[in-house]
Structure 1
Amino acid sequence: GCDVSAVKRDPERLTAMVLLGLKDRETFPLVFYRENCADMALRAEDIDEQHIASSKALLITGTHFSTDQVFKASSQALDYAEKHNVKRVLDIDYRPVLWGLAGKADGETRFVADQKVSQHVQRILPRFDLIVGTEEEFLIAGGSTDLLGALRTVRELTA
C-alpha cells in the first residue's frame, strides 16, 4: 500500500490535473490544469523530518523546483533525506509549459531549450542517487541539444 499519513488537505487549493488527447499515432496533446494547485503550495515548514527518516526513498519531481517556495520545500526534504541516509530519486519531469516557456495550451511541446532552466536543474542533480527522465528531459538537464553530450554532462555532475 501507499502511506498517505503525511498528505494534507488544503481547502483553498485545487488538485492538479492533466488531460491527454490522442489525435493520431504521432500526436498526443496534453493540457495541464495547474492553477492554484495544492502541490505548488508546499512550504519548507510542511516537511516532516521523521516521516522522511522512516522512508527508504524520497522521490521528487523537477516541477517542484520550478518556483522558489516549492524549491525550498524540496530542498528541505532533500536535506532530511541526506541526513538520514534515505535514497533520493529525481524524476526530471520537464514540461516547458510548467516553466513558462510554452503557452498554456501547448502541453504537447516536450522540449524548449532554456539555459536558465538547465542551470537550475543542474544545481540539484548532484543531490540525487537516481535520476530518471525522457530524452528531452535529459537534454534540458544536460543543457544541450545533443543527447550524448547532455548525458555526459549529467554524468559529470552526478559522479
Structure 2
Amino acid sequence: MFERLRSNRFLVLGRAGMDLYADPPGCLAEEAGRFTSALGGSAANIAAGIVRLGGAASLVTTVSDDAVGRFVRRELSRYGIDLSHVGQAAGDCRTSLAVVETRAENCQSVIYRNGAADFLLSPDHVAGIGMEGYAALIVTGTALAVEPSRAATLLAIRRARAVDMPVILDVDYRPYSWVSAADAAATCRMAAEASDMVIGNDVEWDVMAGGPGGLTLARELAAGRAAVIYKMGDKGSISLAGRSSFETPIYRVAALKPTGAGDAFMAGLVTGLASGLELAGAVRRGTAAAAVVVTRVGCAPASPTSEELDTFMRDHAAPA
C-alpha cells in the first residue's frame, strides 16, 4: 500500500465549510468585536494540509449555491486544491458554518449543519470520478452519517478497492450528525473493515466498538492491514500493523487552541508516507504537523508548509 502513495496525489472525500474565528484570539465568541473567515471542514482542512506539504489533493464534496458556498470554492482554489469533483447542491441546503474560538481551555466551536450541503453528495457524483490516477482515497467518516452521502461514500470505497487504490478512513465521529451511536458504530465499522488504514481517537474507537473496548477492536482490525492508528490526545498514539505496534508521544507545545490537530495529523502522515518514510517516521511527521497547527489561529490557514514542518522537527526534540 505505502508504495502506491508515492505519487502523492490524493482524493479526499467529505465536508468543506466556512469558519468564523472570534477575534482577537483568546476572547469568547459572545464577546468578540469581530470575526475572521477561513476555509474549514475536516476534508477541506486535510486537502489544504496535503497541498501545503507538497502533495496534490482533489476534494469530493458538494457546496451550496450561495455566498458561503462561493467562499468555500474560492478558498479551495486559493489553496491549490482541485475542484473538479466539487459539486453544487440544489435547493435550500446550506454549506456548513462554524463559529470558533482560539482558546486553549474551554474552546467553543459552534457548528451550523442543518440541511448540510455536503450530505447531498450522491452516488451518481462519485460514479463519474476516475480513480486510477490517485495515490489513495481519504474518507472522513462524517460523510457516512446520512443518505445520500452514505451511499456515495461506500460506493467510492468500493470503486477504489476495485482498482487496488488504498482507502484511508478518518473516523471523524460527530455525534450531532448521526441518528444514534449504534448507527454510527455499525456504519463506521463497516467502512473500517473495507479500508486499508483506519485512524481514530480513543472516543471514536469506543464508538465503533459499541462501548469501552476500542483498543481491542483496533488490534483486531490491524490484523492484515497496512496500519491502524489509535490516537489518545495528549497521551500520543498507538500504531498497529499486523502483529507489530509502537507508541508515539506528542510534541509538547504552547497550544492556542485544540482544533485542527487531527486534520493536520492526516496531512502530515500521508505526505510523509508519500515521501518514502516508514510508518513510524510518517506518524512522527503527522504528530509534528498537529503540534504546529494548534499553535496558530485557524485550521486550514494554520497548516504548515514542508519547510515550516522540517524546521519545527529540527528545532524540537523528537518525542520519546
State the TM-score, normalizing by the size of structure 2. 0.41
Superposition pairs for residues 1-159 of structure 1, below 5 Å? 1-12=80-91, 13-21=93-101, 25-100=104-179, 114-155=181-222
Paired residue total: 146
Quick one: distance in 1 between partners of 2:197 and 2:112?
28
Q: Confirm or deny: 8 A CA contact 1:90 1:131 kept in the other structure.
A: yes
Please give the secondary structure, in 1, of the residue aligned with 2:131: helix
Larger Rg: 2
Q: Percent identity at matched positions?
A: 23
Q: Secondary structure at the match of 2:189?
A: helix
RMSD: 2.4
TM-superposition CA deviations, 1:98-157 (whole Å, max 9, x none): 2146xxxxxxxxxxxx33421222122111111112221122123222443343354369
Unaligned runs of 5+ in 2: 1-79, 226-241, 243-320
Unaligned segments of structure 1, at least 5 residues: 102-113
Q: 1:55 to 1:30 in 2, by over 3 A?
A: same
Which secondary structure does the structure 2 equivalent of 1:9 belong to?
strand
Match of 2:292 in 1: none
Q: Is the Cα–Cα contact under 8 Å of residues 139 and 153 in structure 2 kept in the other structure?
A: yes
Kept in 1: contact 2:119–2:147 (CA 8 A): no
Q: Which residue of 1 aligns with 2:6?
A: none
| Secondary structure in structure 1 of the residue aligned to 2:119 | helix
Alignment partners' CA distance in 1, 2:111 and 2:179: 12
Q: Please say if residues 142 and 152 of structure 1, whose CA atoms lie closer than 8 Å, have aligned partners that are also in contact.
A: no
Is the partner of 2:192 in helix, strand or coil?
A: helix
Contact 1:64 1:74 in 2 (8 A): yes
Equivalent-residue separation in structure 1 for 2:102 and 2:150 (angstroms): 33
Once the 2 structures are TM-superposed, how far is the Cα of residue 32 of structure 1 from its aligned partner? 1.5
Counterparts in 2 of 1:157 and 1:49: CA distance versus 1, 3 Å: farther
- Cα distance in 2 between the residues matched to 1:39 and 1:48: 16
Q: Which amino acid counterpart does residue 20 of structure 1 have in structure 2?
A: V
Change (3 A) 1:26 1:146: farther
Task: Provide TM-score, normalisation by structure 1.
Answer: 0.77
Distance, in Å, in 1 between the alignment partners of 2:129 and 2:178 is 31
